[in-house]
Amino acid sequence: MQKRTLGSSGLEVSALGLGCMGMSFSYGPPKDKLEMIALIRTAVERGINFFDTAEVYGPYTNEELVGEALAPLRDQVIIATKFGFDTSVDPRAMKGVGPVLNSRPEHIREVAEASLRRLRTDVIDLFYQHRVDPHVPIEEVAGAVKELIKEGKVRHFGLSEAGVQTVRRAHAVQPVSAVQNEYSLWFRRPEEGLLRTLEELGIGLVPYSPLGKGFLTGAMNEKSTFDATDFRSSLPRFTPQALKANQALVDLLGRIATEKNSTPARVALAWLLAQKPWIVPIPGTTRLDRLEENIGAVEVELTSDDLGKIDTAAELIKVHGERYPEKLEQLTGR
């Protein structure tokens, strides 16, 4: 597995990470714990050393899973987790006011201490603010993480779904090593100023949902259905009408994949890897065959002509459906 460095922070990770959320939360019922532990450890064997979780996934159960899986391998891996939600409130509340945020400095410290215990470690490698809290100045958030870094409880500071000005203000207090935002061929908002800012400041980008929450793999179509426990059942982009309209993007990936003797998922990931050398996607999966398919993306070589062809074709495809319901979308880009 190739390695990449997230910006100028010196945080070196595998070119692909593994998003662990779906093993416990959001994509249907929790998966079998022993099977997921085996999958995480197989990922390490295959060269992945960058694992992503959060206290809110479950809540708590995903951190516990990742901690148990990686405890025997702790010196070989980089673990990222997140703070920023009030987990005393159901994190899946998507109606009414939506999820409740809490990034008060005292709460950040409480989350860090609890995450350290669940992850079975004495240091969090990368600690993200999960969503920007408009009620707490970002300078106070950065200052709280800075103290944790001084104490040796955290190594690197990250932000998730933050706007450009928030990134700049946080970085001025405590250098930001990575920003985690959704980014893929069917969600390209980071190209509207964020990528340029990250390059200027020397900050890495960690795209989540790099396969469009599974859509870009080509494994679903307009007839696909989602269990009520599957987050996608509430997303406008996963209605039958939107899935049908967006099929053109999967067809594009399929054509490139045929030329490369590859798969749509690998081409989608390879496209992301080709954008910048400091971009590290974290596709999630609960299946070994998908894990191995994703890892194969690092071997897919897209030439400048290939990239130009993809971009030209993608510009003609209008993506249908918002990515989140309004209340959740309001939590992003602040």
Say how far apart CA 254 and CA 72 lie, in whole Å: 39
Cis-peptide into 59, omega within 30 deg: yes
Task: Give the torsion through C-alpha atoms of 251, 255, 258, 264, to 10 deg.
Answer: -40
How confident is the model over 50-77, as pLDDT tens digits? 999 999 999 999 999 999 999 999 999 9
How confident is the model over 194-222, as pLDDT tens digits? 999 999 999 999 999 999 999 999 999 99
Q: What burial class does residue 79 get, using C-beta atoms within 10 Å of its C-beta: 0-12 exposed, 13-18 middle, 19+ buried?
A: buried
Q: At 195, is the secondary structure helix, strand, or coil?
A: helix
Say how far apart CA 142 and CA 145 lie, in whole Å: 5
Whole-Å CA distances, 25 to 65, 171, 226, 278, 328: 11, 31, 14, 28, 17
Instruction: Count how many Cα atoms sit within 13 Å of the Cα of residue 121 in the half-sphere of its side chain.
Output: 31
Task: Give first-to-last CA distance, the chain, whole Å.
Answer: 35
- The answer to whether 57 and 86 are in contact (CB under 8 A) is no
Helix axes 164-173, 194-201, angle to 10 degrees: 20
- pLDDT for res 88: 83
- The answer to whether 185 and 253 are in contact (CB under 8 A) is yes
Nearest to 80 by CA among 174, 214, 179, 210: 179
Overall domain count for the chain? 1
Residues across the chain: 334
* Mean of per-residue pLDDT scores for the chain: 95
CATH number of the domain within which 274 lies: 3.20.20.100
Rg from Cα positions in the chain: 19
- Residue 334 belongs to some domain of the structure: no
Nearest to 56 by CA among 151, 138, 129: 129
How confident is the model over 72-95, as pLDDT tens digits? 999 999 999 999 999 887 655 544
- Catalytic machinery residues: 57
- Residue 226 belongs to some domain of the structure: yes
- The answer to whether residue 265 scores a pLDDT higher than 50 is yes
The torsion region of residue 122 among left (phi > 0), alpha (psi -120 to 50) and beta comes to alpha
- pLDDT for res 94: 45
Beta strands in the chain (DSSP E): 3-6, 11-14, 18-19, 50-52, 78-83, 124-129, 154-160, 176-182, 204-208
How confident is the model over 226-252, as pLDDT tens digits? 998 899 999 999 999 999 999 999 999
Nearest to 108 by CA among 200, 174, 58: 174
Nearest to 183 by CA among 148, 213, 142: 213
Put simply, whether the predicted model's pTM sits higher than 0.85 gets the answer yes
Say how far apart CA 83 and CA 99 lie, in whole Å: 13
Paired tokens of 204? 């890495």
Nearest to 190 by CA among 10, 21, 332: 332
What is the mean predicted confidence (pLDDT) over 271-290? 98
Which domain, by its residues, includes 131? 3-329
